[in-house]
Amino acid sequence: SPALVWFREDLRLSDNPALTGALDHGPSLCLYIFDTSPERRALGGAARWWLSRSLMALSTAIAARGGELLVMRGDPAEILPRLVRDAGIGLVAWNRRYEASAIALDKALKAELVASGVVVESFNAALLNEPWQVKSKAGGPMQVFTPYWRAARERGTPRPPLPAPEGIRQAKLPATLRSMTLSIEELGLEPRKPDWAGGLRASWMPGEDGAQARLADFLDDGLAGYRTERDRPDRPGTSRLSPHLRFGEIGPRQIWHTVQMALETGETRGSPADAEKFLSELGWREFSYHLLFHNPELATRNFNRRFDGFGWEQDAAGLAAWQRGLTGYPIVDAGMRELWETGWMHNRVRMVTASFLIKHLLTDWRAGEAWFWDTLVDADPANNAASWQWVAGSGADAAPYFRIFNPVTQGEKFDPDGAYVRRFVPELTKLDAKFIHKPWTAPQTVLREAGISLGEDYPRPIVDLDFGRRRALAALAELRAET
Ligand code: FAD
């Protein structure tokens, strides 16, 4: 009987253990289901765009090897059992996911299929370690990154990645099931009117080839100096692999081994210390998944329950200004516009923009998490939720409550010439670097020469930094005092 590989968040052919497992069994069907069931959190707009392009790349790669990617839409709990039954499938293979609703679905499906005599095999393609494999000395989940990563490293070198299959022997799809399939275009994942995806198309090449090209470029140009350059939004100092990782177009094991190999063969100018730092960022990703697995409500519920009664402001105008990049703080506005334009934002600026929303506008971190979820191409159930809680101070191993990023000093430190601001906030292009992160302090003559009328071409600050900071500290100190 034929096998079936169910692609989900593993849209690649190399180092894909479920695909390899199915093909080892015999001729296989390759399936993707666009999941529309209400139990799963719907993908945001930018992620839908990415998914569409990624499926096209996967479909082309599968076809080039003699197979076909079958695309369906609906509830996998209904589609999969029917397909397995009607196509006479003997083995189903998939790579694991870690959101609670996905785990519940997979468990239920597995029980149902196994009960009807089908073999189900699941694998790890997304993580260096399964979330339950790394434990504290007492055997429980971990809450602090450094010991987590130490314990993860002590588990040894990740196993080497699997090669892509040379050919894909396609099993026959019974004609009666053909009507269940759709083209990728029919999923309607890309925006039409208005078409806001122009900046995304210009910035990214979704798919496995795009991911491999990014990694190769990064090892050529980016890894050398990563330790310090990674904090500079004005320079291309990071890998930008995050959306590729999010959709499983590349796996962490592949990155790990490619980096080690490049160090050994001298194919990168990056130092071992740069590589160590870079790999530890993959460690943060692993840690987020560890947190998500042990705290299924990470995206919706304060990890630290003390925050549950916190008096957030209901500042709709502030939230809207933040979303549109019109706060009057250039580094914040540049970040929010980079996000809108390209679907991605530099990590340093993610921290600054998130801190501004949470602390200076005293807005519930969940409003920011939701906006990032909708606009990031790398919107990730673990990384996004864990990072927002980290900035809020409500998370595990969180930033201390009194850490409030100052957008002016952050801008001056990490975008010293203002090149990043100029790129995304063109109104300020002509403003002298001395004032680029605080235009309201510039003399009228300087502003006039730069062609800026504050309050017209570019907003005045929507909140006074000192006021916002003191308000946040007072509210947060109260929260501490209550316990
Ligand atoms: P690199 O520096 O090249 O790092 C390599 C990889 O390591 C990344 O692709 C990513 O998978 C992982 N990584 C790097 N930094 C972190 C981190 N701080 N936490 C967890 N993993 C990390 N990352 C997402 O992938 N999806 C999100 O939805 C997301 N939301 C975030 C929200 C906020 C408020 C903040 C502060 C951070 C968020 N991050 C998120 C983490 C981080 O900003 C991005 O992973 C990083 O900017 C991606 O760029 P890169 O691939 O060039 O990173």
Q: Say yes or no: 55 and 31 in one domain.
A: yes
Task: Look up residue 183 and give its two tokens.
Answer: 């083209």
pTM: 0.97
Q: How confident is the model at residue 477 (pLDDT cuts 50, 70, 90)?
A: confident
Relative to the CA of 345, which ligand 1 atom is closest?
47
Coil/strand/helix, residue 435: coil
Looking at the domain assignment, is residue 266 inside a domain?
A: yes
**Ligand 1 pocket, residue 48 CB under 6 Å:** no
Residue 14 counted as domain residue = yes
**154 and 241 belong to one structural domain:** yes
Residue with the smallest CA separation from ligand 1 atom 25 is: 242
Kindly report the protein residue whose alpha carbon is nearest to atom 32 of ligand 1.
384
- Asked, for residue 169, whether it belongs to a domain, the answer is no
CA separation for the pair 6, 29 (Å, rounded):
8
- Does residue 202 contact residue 241 with C-beta atoms inside 8 Å? no
Identify whether residues 253 and 337 lie together within a single domain.
no
Asked whether residue 220 falls in the same domain as residue 118, the answer is no
- Same domain assignment for residues 343 and 230: no
**Spacing, Cα 380 to ligand 1 middle (Å):** 9
CATH code (residue 445): 1.10.579.10
Cα of 288 from ligand 1 centre, angstroms:
10
Any ligand 1 atom below 6 A from CB of 211: no
- Which pLDDT band, with edges at 50, 70 and 90, does 200 fall under? very high
């494999």: which residue's tokens? 133
Give the model confidence (pLDDT) of 425-473 as tens digits. Answer: 999 999 999 999 999 999 999 999 999 999 999 999 999 999 999 999 9
Whether residue 116 is found in the same domain as residue 133: no
Q: Is residue 175 part of a domain?
A: no
CA dihedral sign of residues 407, 412, 415, 418: positive
CA–CA gap between residue 56 and residue 151 (Å, rounded): 39
Q: Which of these three, 263, 294, 325, is where a domain ends? A: 294
What is 24-68 written as a DSSP string? HHSSEEEEEEEE--TTSPPPPHHHHHHHHHHHHHHHHHHHHTT--
> What would the mean pLDDT of 160-173 be, rounded to a whole number?
96
pLDDT the model gives residue 22: 98
Q: What six digits make up the tokens of 478?
A: 């109260």
141 and 242 belong to one structural domain: yes
Q: Is 94 helix (H, G, I), strand (E, B) or coil?
A: strand
ipTM over 0.95: yes
Question: What CATH number does the domain containing 43 carry?
Answer: 3.40.50.620
Do 274 and 263 lie in a common domain? yes
Q: Give the range of the structural domain holding residue 248, as residue numbers without chain letter.
A: 127-158+208-294
Residue whose CA is closest, atom 10 of ligand 1? 242
* Co-location of 216 and 80 in the same domain: no
Comparing 395 with 412, which gets the higher pLDDT? 412
Ligand 1 pocket member 239 (CB < 6 A): yes
Q: Is residue 177 part of a domain?
A: no
Q: How far is the CA of 344 from the centre of ligand 1 (A)?
A: 10
Of 260, 294, 328, the residue at which a domain comes to its end is 294
Residues 85 and 217 both lie in one domain: no
Q: pLDDT averaged over the chain?
A: 96
Reported as a pLDDT band with limits 50, 70 and 90, residue 479 is confident
Identify whether 195 is part of a domain: no
Q: How many domains does the chain have?
A: 3
**Residue 240 CB–ligand 1 contact under 6 Å:** yes
Residue whose CA is at the smallest distance from ligand 1 atom 33: 387
In a domain, 343, yes or no: yes
DSSP labels, 406-424 = -HHHHHHHHSTT-HHHHHH
Pair (220, 120) in one structural domain:
no
So what's the pLDDT on residue 403?
Answer: 86
d(C-alpha 329, C-alpha 5), whole Å: 49
The residue from 294, 315, 333 where one domain ends is 294
Average pLDDT over residues 206-210: 98
Indicate which CATH number applies to the domain containing 237: 1.25.40.80
Find the 241 Cα to ligand 1 centroid distance in Å.
9
Phi/psi region, residue 123 (left: phi>0; alpha: psi -120 to 50; beta: rest), is beta
> Is pLDDT of 243 > 90?
yes
Question: Is 403 a member of any domain?
Answer: yes
Determine the distance separating the centroid of ligand 1 and the alpha carbon of 108, expressed in angstroms.
32
Assess whether the C-beta atom of 241 lies below 6 angstroms from ligand 1.
yes
Q: Provide CB contacts within 8 A for 359, sequence distance 6+.
A: 404, 405, 468, 469, 472
Averaged pLDDT, 153-172: 96
Nearest alpha carbon, ligand 1 atom 9: 242
Report the catalytic residues.
281, 284, 312, 347, 365, 388
> Quick one: 408 and 327 in the same domain?
yes
Is the CB of 338 within 6 Å of ligand 1? Answer: no
